[in-house]
Structure 1
Amino acid sequence: MFNKKLFLAVSFSALVLSQPSKAVIGPIKITLNPTELSSNYFNEVDTFAPFSSEVYTQDDIKNSKATNIYDFLSQNTSLSLAASSGNRFSKKISARGYGLTVGSHNLVATLNGRRLNNIDTSGLEIAGININDIERIEITKGSGSVIYGDSAMAGAIHFYTKKNIQTKISTTSGNYGTTQTSASVGINDEKIDLNISIDNSKHDGFHKAATDGIKDKGEETKSSIGGTYTTEGGTEISLDIYRTNSDIRYPNYLTDDQFDADPAGNGSGSRYTYRDAESNTTNFKVKRIWGENFKFTTNRSSINKESKNLYSWSTPPLDNYVYDYDSSDYLLTYSNNNIKIDSGVSIFDGARKIESTSASTRNTTSKDNLGIFSQLQYSNDDLIFTIGARNEKVDYTYDPEVGTKLTGKHNLNAFDIGVNTNLTPNITVFTNYNQAFQAPLIDRFFTSSGAFNGFMKPSKSKTLNLGLNHLTENSKTKVTIYRSNITDEMFLCKPNAASDCTGNWGLGENLNLDKSHKQGLELQNKYVFSPKWSTDLNYAYTIAKIDSDDKGNGALNGKTNPMTSKHNISASVIFSFSDKTNMTLTQKYRSEAFAQEDYANIFTKKQPEYNSTNFNFSFNPNEDLSFTFDVENLFENSYGTRLRDNVIYPDNSTRNIKAGLTYKF
């Protein structure tokens, strides 16, 4: 059992003891110095930001030895992640108390500024990101609604790719048939940058085979090609093409007795859920410099996705979901001495077409967003001040094959104001007030049987952040406290003894909570004890409460949001044997929570705690060659996502061992 009290005591001691002292950073590079942020169009160092942020550099990502985006976010950040209904290639993400049930709906994800959000509840489209291409990850919490608009209630996750300047290949093999092979090529000269990468990962299954003899195996391939041309006048023209293919099977739910007896079992023996998906993205971006003070950026992208699904209870042929997204972003930046103004327009047109064997469920549903925003930033040697506002119009169209075509719309506003100032040369403090919104995802308009149920209210939030940054020669510490008040938070209300919710097959109905709130404390600390020893800590304490509900005669008043852990801890110890040999031990812990459907807090059993210990050993005989050895879930702790009593979707319960080799040409 993880000793929470002892760990927290050590954590806060590290904060108190972070006093200036001379230290030499060892063979593993730990990013203690301030790092420039690009999110929110800030372009200043993170310790001077007027909002809460986490930033992870290329060195942080490399030192983590994570082989995919999900593993890095899960093991190193304040975010909570869990497999979506057992699907390890698609994970739910939560921040700031929105819970793993709907947390992904309240976050924005971007890749080089391009949104990765879906128009339905399938979550953030980040599985296709190749971690080997990432230069920096920035997480902004409780801010970003002015720039990114719809869904930025909890904040945003930003991924920025690097320019490859070399040819590199890597391969990893492990138990359960786990393999990963990656290759990248970079061609660079004065005016042209060309980057090509491909990554393939697969496993033979972590659970017992179904009655058809097939296990929960999966394979995913990600490829990209991108180029940038810089003209004599400094204009940058970029074209990027991404492609992702996945062919996966993932586990069905288990009963409590089945999970306790064998979390890697199949339970009923029925076939695993099958998903065959493909995604193609084209992104075209132009940056122009106009005179001494203006810069104009256009970013246009087109995405086509197709997903075929065969569930354990359904019969062939597969249901087919086809997505078409088109977006255009226009940004004008004015800079003059201490003043910077970013103003822009963002246009998004998204549609999902359901091709089903049943004519009653075949339809095309669209969600179109048009946002206009402006943000001012003023800075001097001791202070940065930002203020901005956004107006966004959202239009919906429901066009069924059988039935009446319907339309709906929302007119929504966002606002943000923040300030950061120096207290001492080593300490900065900031405060930030943010108003954000989430327009309903299109799945919210349907009943559990697939029939149209009408348009819902959008959710709105008001968030206050107060934070402190403390930077010394051997330590970097960030502390933030926050409070968010939410109106009309969306949820799926399931029928139970404490509610009068309805729904076909007992699957519930989509509703709004009148009022709810989130509050908590976030702590980050990196500490270099000596040239050989260093630590990295990330802790989040979260309270998420329902203040009043609009269904069930107040039965949910004062209850805790489901799938929201009070304690979320990620801690790493890094030891450098020499300039060539390093070892990392990482502990990830997330306390228990109420089950996914337990908004009334009445179920007998709770969502179990998450506890995983990971070990990594790396050896770099020279600059071109690297060997790694990884053990994930060292003590074979079992974890699953609990929907309700006697229904739990298994996640990781195995000890996973991998060895890898990377070579640079």
Structure 2
Amino acid sequence: MKKKILLSIFISSILVAQSIELKPLSITSTAITTDELKSTDAVEIYTAEDIQKAHVQNIYEFLNQQSSATATPSFGNSFMQKLDFRGYGIGDGYQNILITINGKKINNIDMTPQLLSAISPASIQRLEIIKSSGIVKGGDGANAGAINIITKKDSAKEITVYSGTQGTADGSFYLGHSEERFSISSSGEAQRGDGSRYINSAQDKDESSLKTASLNISYNPIDTLELRAGASFARTDITYGSFLTLDEYNDDTKQAGGTNWGAANQKYDTDALNLGFSYNLSDKISLNIDGAKEKKKSVYNSISQTDYEYDSLNSSLNYIDTLFSFTLGYDIFDGNLVNTKSDLRKISNALYFINEIYLGSSTIKMGARYEDISFKSKSGEDQDDTLYGVELGYNYTFDREKSLFANYSHAYQSSSLDRLFDWSSGAFTGYVKPSESDNFTVGFNYLTPMNRLKISLYYISLEDEIYYYADPTYQSSRNTNIDKSYKYGLDIYDKWLIDEALSVVLNYNYVQAVIDKESENGDDYSGNKLPGVSNHNIKATLAYSLNKNTSLALTQTYRSKTYAINDFNNNFAQKQDAYKSSDISISYTKERLELFAKISNLFNQKNGLWVEDNAIYPMNFTTTAIAGFKLKI
């Protein structure tokens, strides 16, 4: 085993991705567009080219292999994975990350993870990760930061088809057309797989299928006005196995297991419509208003159905000048959740402002948000929270290559509806406080044509971090808060073009997450580590350009051991094993055609998600492969 790991590291050190000249990018998803060199925040920016070269089956795979974020299948459900960065844990970290697509928030009002499988990788223009920031513009749920996805609006036209092991088959397309006053784009994807694991004694497998499509239109009837509209849908159907004991996991990760409660099936559908416009009142002042309606349906094991309906309105008035930029915004959200036992609503109203001041080599950011959040049940038992967010930042740019930045943010995350109300009766189960965080970050950027280096140090102090207390006796389990906790760490990102054929991308994250004060049911957790947080997270993507048409790339991913998700006492007999995966891909491009092949988990590393002793969900536990083509029309 050690020889295999050393071999993968050695190969990684000599193989790298096709070289291009690196140029500073702009952060376009924030309230004010900012050059990344002058940004007051710790940011990661990934372009359509980065995503294309990775040849991933979904955005979760890209984030897990390339970024500082961690993606873990939600108790086996690979279509709805749990995300984490900055030490909030693979248990509840995803609820502390705000995710938007073209500015529309996709976080759910219950504990269902964000459905990133609904976005085809072929449709993405850029993906931005803004760490320990985003609360002012995005609001509730940005304790760890934000992930913002911007889809394509250009005139590109392409189709991608691939197939692989375990009955994997996928087809996706992007069709765009852009003129001076009119643009239209459409994208879609269909994917299916026979599965990699048995779910019962009859040797049935964990099959899955996905269908998604979107249409976006924009029109400029006059120079100062843009009208836009969009529609999208997603249909997912996945069957996934239950947990295994340690003996079962070590014996055969593909087995169904004989001591669990059996496989689960979930069908999850979404339909969304959005309308909006931008009007330039002058060459410096603009007004933006966007509204969206989204309906979702989740059917679990064909017997439990939950329906969701979300209505949102986002408006902002923007002023942009060479010395000063300012945004004033107002957001409204109304979400409804209905099942056989519950009829619940979450309503929020928020007012915010954010501005940047440009003084020579200095950039100063200041912003604040006021948000009123109400939870309502049919029985009349409610919870109301009034929350405040703050962002302060400073960047000093030494020259065209180097800058130093520091920022502070006060962020928050309100409770999910299913933490407040009992699913079996719909009754109010008790007040769960919103968590609040104070985030401090300092960082350094060094951006040259051959190297993009970013380093940041951070410290996060939290009050009332939300978690689920899993009582070993199953008598006192409940949703509650950690009184006080803190996190600190180091993030390093480096993309180095060694020469015309060689380059390397490294993402390293070190984090410590500590429970400062908390006790539950007689157990004192003070001084313990937050479970589900790996101290070390390393991802290296390297490749070699064999010639002008052919490139070879290898990605090595490693996450260190940690405590199982429910191990707040840090005393379980079994720990979460270290995660290891080596992936290799090759592509050949000739004019408008690209042929590609990829092998994931090259050395057949066994990986799993530990919830507690003898409750392990296998993930990425076997070698898989795909091969296909991309055709630009």
- TM more than 0.5: yes
Q: Distance in 2 between matches of 1:36 and 1:393?
A: 32
* 1:448–1:509 contact (8 Å) kept in structure 2: no
Q: Distance in 2 between matches of 1:105 and 1:193?
A: 35
Q: Which digits, 9 at most, give the CA deviation of each residue in 1:333-373, with x for residues without a partner?
A: 01233111101001110111112xxxxxx111111111100
**Counterpart check, 1:548 vs 2:548:** no
Counterpart position of 1:175: 165
Q: How far did 1:164 drift?
A: 4.1
Counterpart among 331, 343, 355 of residue 376 in structure 1: 355
**Counterpart check, 1:441 vs 2:416:** yes
Provide the aligned length of Structure 1 versus Structure 2.
627
Letter in 1 for 2:614: N
Q: Distance in 2 between matches of 1:554 and 1:591?
A: 26
Letter in 2 for 1:571: A
Letter in 2 for 1:200: A
Counterpart among 323, 334, 351 of residue 349 in structure 1: 334
Q: Which digits, 9 at most, give the CA deviation of each residue in 1:374-426, with x for residues without a partner?
A: 11110144111000111000011011xxxx32122011001110000023443
* 1:30–1:59 contact (8 Å) kept in structure 2: no
Q: How far did 1:640 drift?
A: 1.2
Counterpart among 595, 605, 608 of residue 627 in structure 1: 595
Q: Distance in 2 between matches of 1:218 and 1:463?
A: 39
Counterpart position of 1:462: 438
Q: Distance in 1 between matches of 2:358 and 2:4?
A: 41
Q: How far did 1:48 drift?
A: 1.2
Counterpart among 631, 635, 658 of residue 626 in structure 2: 658
Q: Which digits, 9 at most, give the CA deviation of each residue in 1:518-537, with x for residues without a partner?
A: 10000000111111110000
Q: How far did 1:251 drift?
A: 1.1
Change (3 A) 1:655 1:6: closer
Tell me the percent identity: 29
Q: TM-score, length-normalised on structure 2?
A: 0.95
Counterpart position of 1:190: 180
Counterpart among 297, 301, 311 of residue 288 in structure 2: 297
Q: Distance in 1 between matches of 2:150 and 2:161?
A: 23
Change (3 A) 1:2 1:560: farther
Counterpart position of 1:494: 470
Q: Distance in 2 between matches of 1:470 and 1:262?
A: 47
Q: Distance in 2 between matches of 1:241 and 1:448?
A: 31
Counterpart among 399, 402, 419 of residue 394 in structure 2: 419
Aligned pairs for 1:289-368 (under 5 A) are 289-310=280-301, 318-355=303-340, 362-368=341-347
* 1:503–1:509 contact (8 Å) kept in structure 2: no
Letter in 2 for 1:342: T
Change (3 A) 1:6 1:43: farther
RMSD: 2.2
Change (3 A) 1:604 1:209: closer
Q: Which digits, 9 at most, give the CA deviation of each residue in 1:184-241, with x for residues without a partner?
A: 2222222111111110111001012523553100000011111111122331111110
Q: Distance in 2 between matches of 1:182 and 1:425?
A: 39
Counterpart position of 1:77: 67
Q: How far did 1:558 drift?
A: 0.4
Counterpart among 52, 56, 63 of residue 66 in structure 1: 56
Show structure 2 runs of 5+ residues with no match: none
Counterpart position of 2:453: 477
Counterpart among 113, 132, 136 of residue 122 in structure 2: 132
Q: Distance in 1 between matches of 2:321 and 2:234?
A: 42
Q: TM-score, length-normalised on structure 1?
A: 0.91
Change (3 A) 1:74 1:210: same
Change (3 A) 1:625 1:104: same
* 1:239–1:284 contact (8 Å) kept in structure 2: yes
Q: Distance in 1 between matches of 2:417 and 2:199?
A: 35
**Counterpart check, 1:281 vs 2:260:** no
**Counterpart check, 1:524 vs 2:493:** yes
- Secondary structure of the residue aligned to 1:39 is coil
* 1:31–1:60 contact (8 Å) kept in structure 2: no
Q: How far did 1:574 drift?
A: 1.6
Q: Distance in 2 between matches of 1:297 and 1:87?
A: 37
Counterpart among 400, 403, 423 of residue 428 in structure 1: 403
Change (3 A) 1:338 1:512: same
Q: How far did 1:58 drift?
A: 1.5
- Secondary structure of the residue aligned to 1:196 is strand
Q: Which digits, 9 at most, give the CA deviation of each residue in 1:227-276, with x for residues without a partner?
A: 11112233111111000001110111111110000111111297521111
Change (3 A) 1:514 1:209: closer
Aligned pairs for 1:194-273 (under 5 A) are 194-268=184-258, 271-273=262-264
Q: Distance in 2 between matches of 1:2 and 1:281?
A: 49
Show structure 1 runs of 5+ residues with no match: 15-25, 311-316, 356-361, 497-501
Q: Distance in 2 between matches of 1:252 and 1:409?
A: 37
* 1:308–1:321 contact (8 Å) kept in structure 2: yes
Q: How far did 1:472 drift?
A: 2.5
Q: How far did 1:110 drift?
A: 0.3
